[in-house]
């Protein structure tokens, strides 16, 4: 039985109620429970948590899924706080041992980022943006044809540092200015198709 750990990073703040990421978390949990008969655990970063217990979830899971809105081109601060607290608690406790370098080999300046403990496990990142996809793909537009993965490079490197392998993620665009029931239904359809594809690699 596959073990799926979902982190709902949809923060409650100002005009954001985290509604979409809560919905997305439900879609994901239902898919893996119904289609793969997987065991699913969920953490909502708005609710109290114990970092040491969250470390156990990372160690337990076959696949960790981050659902996050993008605020000012970064993770929301409560999700970043969650990662800071949990990954720190995971030092020599299942997430990472060191930064990978050693004073005892011939090249003590090399091999940075290889001290993770989560090898053999995978992660997937979903992001939700106000920005339209054209902001990333059209020449001369805001992101200069850089992909979402390029913008979120820090998140990907963070997971690589722990030893996790990347599964292709999914991005939702125009989640403020162009949200209609029809759009949400189409987004859901495309997302479930994506989960069907990536689930074959688990």
Q: pLDDT (tens digit, 9 = 90+) per residue, 155-185?
A: 999 999 999 999 999 999 999 877 899 999 9
CA distance linking residue 103 with residue 114, whole number of Å: 14
Q: pLDDT (tens digit, 9 = 90+) per residue, 84-129?
A: 999 999 999 999 999 888 877 667 788 898 899 999 999 999 999 9
Q: Are strands 122-128 and 63-69 parallel, antiparallel or unpaired?
A: parallel
pLDDT over 90 (residue 12): no
pLDDT of residue 133: 95
Domain 3-199 of CATH type 3.40.50.1100: no
pLDDT of residue 202: 87
Tokens of 189: 């359809």
Q: pLDDT (tens digit, 9 = 90+) per residue, 43-82?
A: 999 999 999 999 999 999 999 999 999 999 999 999 999 9
pLDDT of residue 153: 97
Q: Choose among 70, 66, 20, 59: nearest CA to 43.
A: 66
pLDDT of residue 178: 72
Q: Are the C-beta atoms of 88 and 52 separated by less than 8 Å?
A: no
When pLDDT is averaged across residues 12-41 and rounded to a whole number, the result is 90
Domain boundaries, the chain: 3-199
Predicted confidence band at 41 (pLDDT cuts at 50, 70, 90)?
very high
For the entire predicted model, the pTM comes to 0.94
123-136 core/surface letters (b: 16 or more CB in 10 A; e: else): bbbbbbbebeeebb
């Amino acid at each position: 039985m596959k073990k799926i750990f979902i982190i709902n990073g949809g923060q409650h703040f100002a005009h954001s109620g985290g509604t979409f990421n809560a919905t997305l978390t439900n879609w994901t949990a239902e898919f893996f429970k119904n289609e793969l008969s997987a065991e699913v655990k969920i953490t909502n970063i708005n609710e109290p948590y114990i970092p040491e217990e969250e470390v156990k979830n990372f160690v337990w899971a076959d696949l960790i899924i981050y659902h996050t809105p993008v605020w000012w081109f970064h993770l929301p601060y409560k999700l970043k706080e969650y990662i800071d607290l949990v990954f720190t608690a995971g030092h020599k406790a299942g997430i990472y041992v060191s930064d990978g370098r050693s004073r005892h080999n011939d090249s003590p300046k090399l091999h940075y980022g290889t001290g993770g403990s989560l090898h053999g496990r995978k992660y997937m990142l979903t992001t939700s943006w106000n920005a339209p996809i054209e902001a990333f793909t059209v020449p001369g537009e805001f992101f200069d044809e850089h992909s979402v993965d390029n913008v979120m490079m820090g998140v990907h490197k963070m997971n690589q540092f722990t030893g996790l392998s990347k599964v292709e993620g999914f991005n939702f665009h125009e989640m403020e200015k162009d949200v209609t029931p029809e759009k949400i239904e189409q987004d859901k359809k495309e997302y479930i198709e994506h989960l069907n594809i990536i689930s074959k690699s688990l």
